[in-house]
Amino acid sequence: MILTTALLITLTATAGPALHSDAKTTHGEPAQCTVKGYECSTSKTGIVIGKTGDLANLAAVMDDAAERYRKYYGTEPAQAALVLGGSIDAGLKADLDSSGFKTQLPWLTSEDKAKLYSSAIRTQIKAQKPDLSAAALEALVKTTMATLNKTGGNNSAVQREQGAVAHEFAHLWYMDAFWPKKDHEASHNSPQYGGAGPDWLDEMAAVLAENETLTSSRRSRLVTVLKDNPAEALWPLKEYFTMEHPIFRKIQKQMEAVQKEASDGVTMKTRVVVYNDEEYKKLIGGTGERDPSLFYAQSRAFADFLIEATGEDRIFASISRHIADGGTMRSWLRDVGKEKGLPTTLVDLQTRWDLWLQTRTGSVA
Ligand SMILES: [Zn+2]
């Protein structure tokens, strides 16, 4: 049994006790630094609250992400609060709400995650090999952790984490700007797959806000898969524009279990599930199915293609407005394709996209 993949499933529910807040804010004052036992760092974009961790650096990461968001969407991102430690309690949430932090993200640092992983791994090994000595158990936990860390690739964990913060905030900013929730839903913060917009556009906003580390890993991933299997590597555009996020579908069962556990009032619940290779392959899809993580590589490539073809950084803002007003990708192309320098039908767009992919990756169809 070699455990090679750990899946971290986090979601938001309603309210809870984990991060205790004694914050008393006077009107108009942000909740910053009045949270007992916590440090804060503020920036132009918002606030980072936590007990430990590089708060100032993460505040700068939020500013960078906001800069990229503005570049591609042309609107000011909502005030953001990043709360380290994995959950936001009801008191802190109320404070952040009343201080105007419309987008709130509970966050596990890579250190937090490492702790969760090693404890999940220890539990699992213990269950499978109850006779191991304590020393042998710890050695096996260590080896398994090292295997897991290797799957992260060459990029530093810090840069990947910073890219992920940007990615998640962009989901929230995008949803807030283009698909705002109705008043009665406003208190429910779900960073992913929760919005009314099409999943590809939601994911696009997140991918566009990523840092250079994640962006280049998406691009090189695309080149690799196209070399392996150029014809079947990606979802046809017609499907891509309307499909449900493939990862959401795959891990829905696990998410439902977490939701159930979280129902007695925690803002965010995290569960770590550790898989060996075989189990993970089974989870993400049978033979012949695309690896769901390709959805990100395809989104990055489609962004590069469309921005290049139209010369407009804000092309996804135009598409999003059209679809939020009740249109479809088909009607957007028909209405404005020509003036944007694009084909006016999905079929022709697919042809042009295929050609672009060939030149971009050097693959010959
Ligand atoms: Zn995402």
**What local confidence, expressed as pLDDT, does residue 88 receive?**
80
CA 191 / ligand 1 centre spacing (Å): 8
CA-CA-CA-CA torsion sign (63, 67, 69, 73): positive
**What local confidence, expressed as pLDDT, does residue 53 receive?**
73
pLDDT at 153 > cutoff 70: no
CA 193 / ligand 1 centre spacing (Å): 8
CA 52 / ligand 1 centre spacing (Å): 26
**What local confidence, expressed as pLDDT, does residue 217 receive?**
92
Q: In 164-176, which positions are buried (b, 16+ CB within 10 angstroms) versus exposed (e)? A: bbbbbbbbbbbbb
Q: What is the mean pLDDT of residues 93-100?
A: 87
Between residues 173 and 25, the one the model is more confident about = 173
Would you tell me how many other CB atoms lie within 10 Å of the CB of residue 183?
A: 7
- pLDDT band, residue 234 (cuts 50/70/90): very high
CA 199 / ligand 1 centre spacing (Å): 9
Lowest mean pLDDT of 12-21, 129-138, 263-272, 296-305, name the range: 12-21
CA 245 / ligand 1 centre spacing (Å): 9
CA 284 / ligand 1 centre spacing (Å): 17
CA 355 / ligand 1 centre spacing (Å): 27
pLDDT at 229 > cutoff 70: yes
CA 296 / ligand 1 centre spacing (Å): 8
CA 203 / ligand 1 centre spacing (Å): 5
CA distance 26 to 24: 7
Between residues 319 and 121, the one the model is more confident about = 319
Between residues 265 and 258, the one the model is more confident about = 258
pLDDT at 94 > cutoff 90: no
Between residues 282 and 75, the one the model is more confident about = 75
pLDDT at 269 > cutoff 70: no
Between residues 153 and 211, the one the model is more confident about = 211
Q: What is the mean pLDDT of residues 339-364?
A: 90
pLDDT at 152 > cutoff 60: no
CA distance 54 to 34: 18
CA 171 / ligand 1 centre spacing (Å): 7
C-alpha distances (whole Å) from 223 to each of 17, 296, 363 are 46, 13, 9
**What local confidence, expressed as pLDDT, does residue 109 receive?**
78
**What local confidence, expressed as pLDDT, does residue 157 receive?**
77
Cα 319 versus chain centre, distance: 21
CA 167 / ligand 1 centre spacing (Å): 6
The chain-wide mean pLDDT, for the chain, equals 80
CA 168 / ligand 1 centre spacing (Å): 6
**What local confidence, expressed as pLDDT, does residue 15 receive?**
32
**What local confidence, expressed as pLDDT, does residue 360 receive?**
78
Q: Where are the beta strands (DSSP E) in the chain?
A: 3-12, 39-42, 46-50, 80-84, 103-107, 268-276
- pLDDT band, residue 310 (cuts 50/70/90): very high
Percent of the chain at pLDDT > 90 equals 41
**What local confidence, expressed as pLDDT, does residue 141 receive?**
86
Q: What is the mean pLDDT of residues 37-41?
A: 82
**What local confidence, expressed as pLDDT, does residue 204 receive?**
97
CB neighbour list of residue 242: distance below 8 Å, 6 or more residues apart: 198
105-114, 143-152, 243-252, 336-345: which has the highest mean pLDDT?
A: 336-345
CA 155 / ligand 1 centre spacing (Å): 19
Hey, where are the domains in the chain?
1-148+250-282
pLDDT at 205 > cutoff 90: yes
pLDDT at 314 > cutoff 50: yes
CA distance 7 to 55: 25
User: What is the DSSP secondary structure assignment for residue 184, as one 8-state letter?
Assistant: G
pLDDT at 171 > cutoff 80: yes
**What local confidence, expressed as pLDDT, does residue 85 receive?**
80
What tokens were used for 106?
């509970």
**What local confidence, expressed as pLDDT, does residue 23 receive?**
38
Lowest mean pLDDT of 31-35, 172-176, 288-292, name the range: 31-35
**What local confidence, expressed as pLDDT, does residue 24 receive?**
37
CA distance 97 to 234: 41
pLDDT at 101 > cutoff 70: yes
CA 114 / ligand 1 centre spacing (Å): 21
**What local confidence, expressed as pLDDT, does residue 7 receive?**
57
Q: Could you report the per-residue pLDDT of 40-78, keeping only the tens digit for each?
A: 898 999 999 988 778 889 999 999 999 999 999 999 999
Question: Which H/E stretch holds residue 306?
Answer: helix 294-310
CA 107 / ligand 1 centre spacing (Å): 14
Helix axes 212-228, 294-310, angle to 10 degrees: 100
CA 68 / ligand 1 centre spacing (Å): 16
Q: What is residue 356's three-state secondary structure? A: helix
CA 283 / ligand 1 centre spacing (Å): 19
Q: What is the mean pLDDT of residues 116-125?
A: 81
